[in-house]
């Protein structure tokens, strides 16, 4: 499921490369050579190498003006960046490729671009958009009898239904795709769909069938040396072991998948595996490690997908559509002017007036589209920030419950403290004092809201926590990967968002008052930091928050 059959899309492009490798031009041969290296590295899951080969091919193709090769390399870069979790770059390359192939009127390559775009939207959980692009590609592949492309579309449509938990729809689609892949001797596609079928059976709690198909997928991936495929199989096998109560096996398989994801640069998949590892530790009652791995997973996901990136990805599609519409309108306008030039002189005045009216309408359409795009982006940003605040509140509540459980367990586990201490020493775990200090810091910020004091300094906070400035600064840098001032400002911005989105307080108080209530003593600095962290001004955020 995690691979989402990117590998098969790449195989389609590679077939084209081999068919056209007889071209005499040296530069084109060099580009095709790098594309072959890219394909081989991709098949083995060597994602960093694959991305490097594609980048070299792109430089040569652009320099020599090989437009078709440029478009194909754009598609390869989109596939590898999507696998490695950079969805913004992936769709930038996808739309660049789609634009070139649309100008060439190449039906097959346009279908592949639409498939790639739809696959990225699956990763972004934009399922209606994903289905729209993928079904468009599926219909095109069917018309030109491209069975491989058609099979990939089926797999991705099945993945959408799987994500929506519509297992009755997903399962027959995956089986249909497997039948096509086996008839065409495509082991990569077969393995990917076996994995998807195993995940469906896992969700249906048919653990015997799930284990059978996961083992089939893993066997094919091992035979091919596909590291990405093996990582995905181990990841889902760990879920199966956890569901059947075999936590030791689940821990082993999950750790194996994390190591392999890290090696191949699949950071989003690594974050998902870290979340699973936290869940396994929670099942075994080790709440401290469960919390630690949850924090690591959250930090890794945030580094890949922040609010600014999400808004830019959402705007890429609208930008492409607007450019296409603008081009079509301007093309129509040109033809209209050419026709009017042949009309008698007495109608020139009317033609000029009509042209001016058309240009005005075009300008209004473009302006309206730009405003709509901007407003949609603001609404998207505000909605995502509000959702994030809600999730943070839920996480905080969960952590309080975990701490309460932990305090009850301490008394019951007193006789084991010495053994646990020895075990910590053997495995090199962190000192309890550091953990306690971190908990005190979180409580001071989350519960006591010390950050709302405008004169709060690192020295004052250290004194409040009964420590010194140097130790506190180092602790914040190690645990949060940011400076003291950045951490405090983030808490203040969250407080401001909470007040601005409150239906009563948000309207009752001015933005200046809310800034001071959140700990800022300078309204200019507040506006600057709020826009940097949230992506909108405080006034725009309040307006959109209340409308939602």
pLDDT (tens digit, 9 = 90+) per residue, 277-318? 999 989 988 888 888 888 888 888 777 655 455 555 555 555
Q: Whole-prediction pTM value?
A: 0.51
Mean pLDDT, residues 439-459 taken together: 87
pLDDT number for residue 427: 37
- pLDDT, residue 412, reads 53
Q: In the prediction, which pLDDT does 8 show? A: 38
Residue 97 contacts residue 74 (beta carbons within 8 Å): yes
The predicted structure's pLDDT at residue 20: 41
pLDDT at position 404: 58
Mean pLDDT of 56-79: 90
Mean pLDDT of 451-479: 90
What confidence score (pLDDT) does residue 348 get?
A: 67
**For residue 471, which of 425, 443, 431 has the smallest C-alpha distance?**
431
Q: How confident is the model at residue 27 (pLDDT cuts 50, 70, 90)?
A: confident
Residue 345 burial (CB count, 10 A) = 6
Top pLDDT among 419 and 177 is at 177
With bands split at pLDDT 50, 70 and 90, how would you rate the model's confidence at 421? very low
Q: Does pLDDT of 548 surpass 80?
A: no
- Would you place residue 417 in the very low, low, confident or very high pLDDT band (cuts 50, 70, 90)? very low
| Token couple for 328 | 């079509």
For residue 16, pLDDT over 80 is answered with no
> Are 257 and 232 contacting, i.e. CB atoms less than 8 angstroms apart?
yes
Q: What is the mean pLDDT of residues 242-252?
A: 93
In the chain, the percentage of residues whose pLDDT exceeds 90 is: 26
DSSP letters for 62-91: HHTT-HHHHHHHHHHHHHHHHHTT-HHHHH
pLDDT value of residue 11: 38
Which pLDDT band, with edges at 50, 70 and 90, does 1 fall under? very low
pLDDT band, residue 13 (cuts 50/70/90) = very low
Say if residue 12's pLDDT is above 50: no
- Say if residue 23's pLDDT is above 50: no
Contact assessment for residue 282 and residue 15, using Cβ atoms and an 8 Å cutoff? no
Please report, rounded to a whole number, the percentage of residues in the chain having pLDDT higher than 70: 75
**Which of 193-207, 275-289, 428-442 is least confident?**
428-442
HSE, CB side, 13 Å, CA atoms: give it for residue 235: 28
Q: Please report the pLDDT score of residue 299 as a whole number.
A: 83
pLDDT recorded at residue 479: 86
Cα separation of 510 and 514, whole Å?
A: 6
Cα separations in angstroms, 124 against 193, 268, 275, 304, 310: 21, 11, 18, 12, 9
For all residues of the chain together, what is the average pLDDT? 80
């Amino acid at each position: 499921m995690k691979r989402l059959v990117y590998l098969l899309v790449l195989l389609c492009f590679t077939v084209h490369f081999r068919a056209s490798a007889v071209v005499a031009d040296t530069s084109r041969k060099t580009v095709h050579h790098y594309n072959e290296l890219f394909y081989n590295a991709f098949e083995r899951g060597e994602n960093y190498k694959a991305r490097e080969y594609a980048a070299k091919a792109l430089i040569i193709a652009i320099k020599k003006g090989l437009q078709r090769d440029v478009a194909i390399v754009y598609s390869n870069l989109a596939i590898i960046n999507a696998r490695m979790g950079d969805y913004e770059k992936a769709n930038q390359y996808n739309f660049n490729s789609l634009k070139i192939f649309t100008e060439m009127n190449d039906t097959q390559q346009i279908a592949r671009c639409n498939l790639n775009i739809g696959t990225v939207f699956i990763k972004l959980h934009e399922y209606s958009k994903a289905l729209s692009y993928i079904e468009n590609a599926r219909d095109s592949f069917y018309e030109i009898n491209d069975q491989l492309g058609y099979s990939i579309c089926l797999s991705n449509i099945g993945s959408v239904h799987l994500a929506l938990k519509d297992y009755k729809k997903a399962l027959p689609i995956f089986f249909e795709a497997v039948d096509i892949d086996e008839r065409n001797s495509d082991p990569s596609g077969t393995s990917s769909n076996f994995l998807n079928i195993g995940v469906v059976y896992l969700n249906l709690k048919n653990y015997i069938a799930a284990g059978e198909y996961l083992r089939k997928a893993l066997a094919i991936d091992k035979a091919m040396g596909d590291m990405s495929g093996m990582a995905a199989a181990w990841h889902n096998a760990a879920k199966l072991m956890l569901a059947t109560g075999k936590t030791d096996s689940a821990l082993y398989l999950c750790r194996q998948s994390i190591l392999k994801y890290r090696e191949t640069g699949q950071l989003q998949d690594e974050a998902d595996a870290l979340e699973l590892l936290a869940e396994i530790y929670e099942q075994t009652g080790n709440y401290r490690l469960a919390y630690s791995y949850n924090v690591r997973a959250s930090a890794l996901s945030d580094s890949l997908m922040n609010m600014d990136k999400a808004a830019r990805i959402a705007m890429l599609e609208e930008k492409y559509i607007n450019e296409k519409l603008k081009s079509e309108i301007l093309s129509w306008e040109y033809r209209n002017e050419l026709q009017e030039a042949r009309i008698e002189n007495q109608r020139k005045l009317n033609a000029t007036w009509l042209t001016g009216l058309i240009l005005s309408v075009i300008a209004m359409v473009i302006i309206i589209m730009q405003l709509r795009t901007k407003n949609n982006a603001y609404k998207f940003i505000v909605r995502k920030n509000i959702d994030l605040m809600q999730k943070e509140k839920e996480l905080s509540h969960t952590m309080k419950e975990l701490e309460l459980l932990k305090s009850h367990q301490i008394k019951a586990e007193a006789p084991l403290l010495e053994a646990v201490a020895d075990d910590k020493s053997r495995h090199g775990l962190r000192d309890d004092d550091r953990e306690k200090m971190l908990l005190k810091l979180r409580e001071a910020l989350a519960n006591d809201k010390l950050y709302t004091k405008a004169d709060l300094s690192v020295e004052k906070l250290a004194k409040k926590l009964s420590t010194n400035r140097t130790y506190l600064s180092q602790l914040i840098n190690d645990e949060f990967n940011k400076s003291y001032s950045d951490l405090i400002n983030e808490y203040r911005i969250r407080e401001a968002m909470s007040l601005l989105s409150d239906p009563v307080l948000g309207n009752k108080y001015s933005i200046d008052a809310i800034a001071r209530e959140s700990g800022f003593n300078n309204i200019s600095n507040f506006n600057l930091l709020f826009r940097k962290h949230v992506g909108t001004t405080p006034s725009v955020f309040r307006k959109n928050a209340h409308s939602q």
